[in-house]
Amino acid sequence: MTKTVSVAEAKSRFSELVNRAAYGKERFLVERRGKPLGAIVSVADLERLQAAESAPPRRGLLAAVGALGESAVLETILEDLVRRRAEATDRVVELE
């Protein structure tokens, strides 16, 4: 989860925020007057972002799975889908 900090707070706590991003895997969105200006993230996050920018774009279902691939939401969605299909009475579906 990304935490929001003001520019002034980021400036006064810069070393702490960088350490928390690097070692605690936290992310910080830096804002001025409620508008995002930048972020403090770990090197691993930056490398993933750069790799995603240089990768060819995905399309269709592969793009949807990729977008949710690192999210626990995908598993919940799929479990709900399987449960609903198993309970559906409008057509016969074998889930084996």
pLDDT in tens, 5-15: 999 999 999 99
23: exposed, middle or buried (Cβ count in 10 Å: 0-12, 13-18, 19+): exposed
pLDDT in tens, 72-81: 666 777 788 8
pLDDT in tens, 25-83: 899 999 999 999 999 999 999 998 888 888 776 666 666 666 666 566 667 777 888 88
Q: What structural domains does the chain harbor?
A: 1-55 (3.40.1620.10), 57-89 (no CATH)
Say which residues have a Cβ less than 8 Å from residue 62's Cβ, sequence separation at least 6.
none
Write the DSSP assignment of 50-89 as a string of letters: HHHHHSPPP-HHHHHHHHHTT-HHHHHHHHHHHHHHHH--
Residue-averaged pLDDT of the chain: 83
